[in-house]
Amino acid sequence: ERLDIQTPHKNYPVIIGDGLRFKLTEFLSKSYSAYVIITDDHVAPLYLEDVKTALSFSTNVFDFVVPAGETAKSFATYKRLIDDIVALNLDRKSCVIALGGGVIGDLAGFVAATFLRGVAFIQMPTTLLSHDSSIGGKVGINHEHGKNLIGAFYHPEAVLYDTECLKTLPASEWRSGLAEVVKHAIIDSPELYHRMRQEIPTFDAIDLHTFAPLLKAAMAVKANVVANDELEAGMRKFLNFGHTLGHAIEKESGYGVLSHGEAVAIGMIFALRLSERIYHIALPVAEIIAWFKRLSLPIAIPKGLTSQQLLERMKYDKKRADGHIVFVLLKAIGEPEVTPVEDAVISNLLAEFING
């Protein structure tokens, strides 16, 4: 499967297929003076040797393994990587390869964007969630005061997505990524939504061969949204569908209790209900809830969280207009709209949602 991503600054291919890591050079448009592979200590034992073997024609292949997890997106890890890379005396024709999930993509991409004012960058996503993070051009690291506070817009030369790597991905990471795949379908069109519901009827029914075209479709949705809105003026906000409440749930239940995607799944159900209330329309909420259940995605707000607490958290978060919390709502499947919503409407529906 191949998808061509066009941005005002750069065009690059996304290649999706089984075993791509063994033949990655087939997809590089040129050769580089050096290859710097950045990966984490879960992915390295599984796939690093394969990638190094594929690059063995070059005598300048270096690898750096960082501890797995969000903490790798830190200034300290970034500094260590830059220190080590500077010591190699590489030139601007070098290439950084991100081999891993969204954490590695964001971190390695930021290294690539900043080292020598930017060197070539290749994304080799290994998680389902990185179908999302590997395109769109956002790279960066976290700061004590918040996630992704330091970063850049920097596009890769190519995204090489070896779907075989997804076989070793833990089920919890599958669920997290799946929620974002489904999100892309719901904000895109009834056609893609129905197709996904048919082709991924249950979590256990997922088969990597039928899944690759769906991944491509989900990535195309993100790519189109981003292409129409490179610097996040308007349409890019649609990608936040499910995220206003999702982020609040993620933070208030404590990071790690629910994965990001699981929290977003609950946030999507809420956004659908809120859309029905605000626009006085009927959406297939029951159908989506039933589907989420079969996908092992959570559909209810975790016990112990109160509507007051979640409302306060959403107010504290940044996406506000005129003092109102801003939601991505749906006028229909495939028709997202960014809408400020009054606190009272949110808290009433939250209370109903929490009480079943």
Question: Is 6 a residue that touches ligand NAD (CB under 6 A)?
Answer: no
236 is catalytic: yes
180 is catalytic: yes
Question: Is 172 a residue that touches ligand NAD (CB under 6 A)?
Answer: no
DSSP string, 287-316: HHHHHHHHTT---SPPTT--HHHHHHHHHH
Q: How far is CA 49 from CA 52, 56, 69, 107, in A?
A: 5, 10, 21, 21
Closest CA to 299 of 251, 353, 244, 230: 353
Coil vs helix vs strand at 338? strand
Find the binder of ligand NAD among 21, 131, 138, 184 (CB under 6 A): 138
Burial of 110 (0-12, 13-18, 19+ CB in 10 A): buried
Coil vs helix vs strand at 334? coil
Q: How far apart are CB 109 and ligand NAD at their closest, in Å?
A: 7
Q: Are 327 and 233 in contact (CB under 8 A)?
A: no
Question: Is 129 a residue that touches ligand NAD (CB under 6 A)?
Answer: yes
Active-site entry in 232, 287, 342, 352: 232
Q: Which of residues 43-72 bind ligand NAD (CB under 6 A)?
A: 43, 46, 68-70
Q: What are phi and psi of 43, to 5 degrees?
A: -80, -35
Find the binder of ligand NAD among 77, 94, 123, 130 (CB under 6 A): 130
**Which CB sits closer to ligand NAD, 143 or 331?**
143
Closest CA to 334 of 267, 245, 251, 241: 241
Q: What are phi and psi of 251, to 5 degrees?
A: -75, -45
User: Which residues 6+ apart lie within 8 Å of 248 measured at CB?
Assistant: 310, 313, 314, 317
**Which CB sits closer to ligand NAD, 188 or 262?**
262
Question: Is 106 a residue that touches ligand NAD (CB under 6 A)?
Answer: yes
Find the binder of ligand NAD among 90, 122, 136, 163 (CB under 6 A): 136
Active-site entry in 131, 216, 260, 313: 260
**Which CB sits closer to ligand NAD, 225 or 350?**
225
| Interface region with ligand NAD, contact rule CB under 6 A, candidates 85-93, 99-107, 182-190, 326-334 | 99-107
**Which CB sits closer to ligand NAD, 149 or 282?**
149
Question: Is 225 a residue that touches ligand NAD (CB under 6 A)?
Answer: no
Question: Is 103 a residue that touches ligand NAD (CB under 6 A)?
Answer: yes
**Which CB sits closer to ligand NAD, 184 or 197?**
184
What count of other Cβ atoms lies within 10 Å of the Cβ of residue 69?
A: 13
Coil vs helix vs strand at 14? strand
Closest CA to 299 of 266, 322, 339: 266
Q: Which residue number has the CB closest to ligand NAD?
A: 102
Rounded to the nearest 5 percent, the helix, strand and coil shares of the chain are 50, 20, 30
Closest CA to 160 of 29, 256, 329: 29
Q: How far apart are CB 52 and ligand NAD at their closest, in Å?
A: 16
| Interface region with ligand NAD, contact rule CB under 6 A, candidates 21-29, 41-49, 80-88, 206-214 | 41-49
Question: Is 222 a residue that touches ligand NAD (CB under 6 A)?
Answer: no
| Interface region with ligand NAD, contact rule CB under 6 A, candidates 48-56, 161-169, 242-250, 333-341 | 161-169
Active-site entry in 73, 216, 237, 243: 243
- Separation between Cα atoms, residue 306 and residue 8, nearest integer Å: 44
Q: How far apart are CB 140 and ligand NAD at their closest, in Å?
A: 7
Quick one: which H or E segment has residue 182? helix 171-188
Active-site entry in 42, 216, 222, 237: 222
Q: Which residues bind ligand NAD (CB under 6 A)?
A: 40, 42-43, 46, 68-70, 73, 100-104, 106, 126-127, 129-130, 132-133, 136, 138, 147-148, 165, 168-169, 173, 176
Q: List, by residue number, the catalytic residues.
A: 117, 138, 180, 222, 232, 236, 240, 243, 247, 260
